[in-house]
Amino acid sequence: TKQSSSARSDIRNCTTSPPFLPPTVTDTSAQLNALRQRMQFYNISAYIIPATDAHMSEYIAERDARLAWISGFTGSAGTGVVTTKKAALWTDSRYWTQAERQMDCNWELQKIVWTDSIGEWLLQEIPADENIGLDPFLFSIDLWNSYAHVLQGSSRTLVPIEDNLVDLVWGSQRPPLPTSEIYLLPETFTGSTWQEKVSGIRSQMEQHSRSPTAVLLSALEETAWLFNLRGDDILYNPVFYSYALLTTSDISLFVDRNRLSAEALQSLSALCPGPLCVQVEEYNQVRASVQAYAQGDVRVWIGTEYTTYGLYGVIPQDKLVESSYSPVMTTKAVKNTKEQVLLKAAHVRDAVAMIQYLLWLEKNVPKGSVDEFSGARYVDKLRREKEHCRGASFETISASGLNAALAHYSPSNVSSRKLSVDEMYLLDSGGQYLCVWPGLIFVLPRSVPTKTALTMSRNRQTMVVTLSRLPPGWRVVEAFARQALWKVGLNYGHGTGHGIGNFLSVHEWPVGFQSNNVPLVKGMFTSIEPGYYQEGEFGIRIEDVALVVEAQTKAYLTFEVVSLVPYDRNLIDISFLSEDQYLNTYYETIHQRVGPELQRRQLEEEYEWLRRNTQPFSRGTLVATSLGTLAITSLVSTLLPDRQT
């Protein structure tokens, strides 16, 4: 089934005449014409359109999907630039193929990903003495400054335009503001009251060398976490549009008051008046309120990654206390004991759903009755039935064969590939539980069609397993994780880990392994997700969720894996593994924790499946490959965390 790139019918081809456009492409000519008229009116030669919202959210509501509306590209990361003649989109390698499937030939895809490439492109495309427009509420300070830096001294000016030009063109077609209820998360799911959290942040303010008098919160997860409130403004993300200004004596929450449940209002005002009384102000008053506050003898602490240029601009420079992340972001990243317990318990329920799905696939894929879309719907349903589950935590990635090479592909009811026992299948799905959020990714192992493909897939998969156990030494974890692939000249185009929210976001910053992440400490949760993608052929990824814990040798930290689904045995070639205990210990844990739950639910067949799939590997076992050859392998599992310390 290997397809040569010239024959691919799933991506656009702008070099043929007429251009070849697959049905997944959006015609953007009308939108672009209308935008260019507005640009002329505002006297700008280029307009920059990000994929984020005014809170720097990674996942956004439909009404903020401006880049998708103007370009057709729906990936979660990207930047568009429209000039009078051209339109260009920058996105990272995860999304290149998706962009070629969704954009028409009005748009060029820019695959250069270094930060300054947009600025450099603008220098080339825009004549001197002309203006480049952007919405100051959609760019973080850091990003704004990076553009300004490249353009400095070039006589091209960055012009903040407070009317969003895409919104003006979108007009009445733009989805409306949400009106759904904002509700209180009971203390049984949070482990600390919002008053305790506020007091904790205030003591961090006191201890700070510059004694900030206020913290400004712009990220939606920050306000949701701080006040123990949740909403549903963004699909899969239980947050609501809001800002907060927390001072040493007052608390302002900027939100649509009418949306707060009676219980939520009661909780916020229970201790009024006083330092633990929350004043509710209108959402769009935030700029004026911050500006008024900043007139006084004050110092406002902001996280530069999440504060927009539009808000930053109203605080005088000498009154700013800047760090990359606000104290709320960094405090939220460390889960309390209750949250840890809840997260682990949710992983048991989630494992039940996954095992039900795997068994169902084993029965139904050989009949040819499952496609990517129906599979995704079924796994979502199984999960939704579980206790405290509030549905999926992100759009289910259900990708078969060559689609799995797109690290973030989701099927639709118009394009969905049939699952086959001859192809790799990549499922990346997770649940929002009223307490936690396990994200689970694994590969359904099937045999692959040709001998070469088989050998290759098995080897790569094994490397991936090896990589999923990482030693401490946080700053270098990325390099450790990629070492086995680097040795053979391969790599993957996404980070190896990200933090996990407590009934919040599937990707919770600033936890992760990259240079812009904070150091790991005890109590943080992170994913560990090495992968390998062979474009046009297949893709594999393993994603475990792990809790950072103290190692037996104190002073060291290590990981406790909390995901409880066994890897596919067919794809593990144990001769590649270098430690002989890790997998067996892990499988025993899975069996001990998930087995009783399956029995309690009388899922006998699933229990039997679990028993089979968590059998220990043993040194010297004869392993039958699907080619029918026998290979004597020695059991070597991955790095035991404690050995590293």
Ligand X SMILES: *[C@@H]1O[C@H](CO)[C@@H](O)[C@H](O)[C@H]1NC(C)=O
| Candidate residues 1, 13, 248, 644; the one interacting with ligand X per rule CB under 6 A | 13
**What x-and-dash track marks residues 409-428 binding ligand X by CB under 6 A?**
----x---------------
In angstroms, the CA 259 to CA 179 distance is 6
| Candidate residues 1, 24, 117, 131; the one interacting with ligand X per rule CB under 6 A | 131
Choose between 410 and 496: whose C-beta lies nearer to ligand X.
Answer: 410
- Site size with ligand X, rule: CB under 6 A: 10
Find all residues with CB under 8 Å of 266, minimum gap 6, and list them.
Answer: none
Quick one: CA torsion of 132, 133, 134, 140, rounded to 10 degrees?
Answer: 40
**What x-and-dash track marks residues 370-409 binding ligand X by CB under 6 A?**
----------------------------------------
Binding segment for ligand X among 7-15, 85-93, 144-152, 311-319 (CB under 6 A)? 7-15
In angstroms, the CA 497 to CA 452 distance is 30
Q: Does 173 bind ligand X (CB under 6 A)?
A: no
Choose between 395 and 606: whose C-beta lies nearer to ligand X.
Answer: 395
The position carrying tokens 């692939």 is 485
| Backbone φ and ψ of 134, nearest 5° | -155, 160
Binding segment for ligand X among 11-19, 194-202, 397-405, 475-483 (CB under 6 A)? 11-19
Nearest approach, Cβ of residue 235 and ligand X (Å): 12
Q: For the chain, first and last CA: distance in Å? A: 46
In angstroms, the CA 43 to CA 316 distance is 28
In angstroms, the CA 404 to CA 392 distance is 20
Choose between 40 and 599: whose C-beta lies nearer to ligand X.
Answer: 40
b/e sequence 34-67, b meaning 16+ C-beta within 10 Å:
bbbebbeeeebbbbbbbbbbbbbbbbbbebbbbb
Nearest approach, Cβ of residue 625 and ligand X (Å): 35
Beta strands 243-247 and 214-217 are: antiparallel
Q: What angle do CA 81, 82, 85 make, to 5 degrees?
A: 135
Choose between 414 and 632: whose C-beta lies nearer to ligand X.
Answer: 414
Nearest approach, Cβ of residue 130 and ligand X (Å): 6
The position carrying tokens 């086959």 is 420
Nearest approach, Cβ of residue 159 and ligand X (Å): 8
Q: Does 43 bind ligand X (CB under 6 A)?
A: yes
Choose between 21 and 407: whose C-beta lies nearer to ligand X.
Answer: 21
Choose between 41 and 486: whose C-beta lies nearer to ligand X.
Answer: 41
Nearest approach, Cβ of residue 104 and ligand X (Å): 15
Q: Does 129 bind ligand X (CB under 6 A)?
A: yes
Nearest approach, Cβ of residue 16 and ligand X (Å): 5
Q: Does 578 bind ligand X (CB under 6 A)?
A: no
**Three-class DSSP category at 474:** helix
Q: Does 8 bind ligand X (CB under 6 A)?
A: yes
Lateral strand order in the sheet of 251-254: 278-281, 251-254, 243-247, 214-217, 300-303, 320-323
Q: Does 5 bind ligand X (CB under 6 A)?
A: yes
Query: Could you tell me which of 394, 507, 384 has the C-alpha nearest to residue 434?
Result: 384
Q: Does 9 bind ligand X (CB under 6 A)?
A: no
Q: Does 15 bind ligand X (CB under 6 A)?
A: yes
List the alpha helices (DSSP H) in 419-562: 451-467, 477-487
Q: Does 155 bind ligand X (CB under 6 A)?
A: no
Choose between 188 and 412: whose C-beta lies nearer to ligand X.
Answer: 412
**Interacting residue ranges for ligand X, rule: CB under 6 A:** 5-6, 8, 13, 15-16, 43, 129, 131, 413
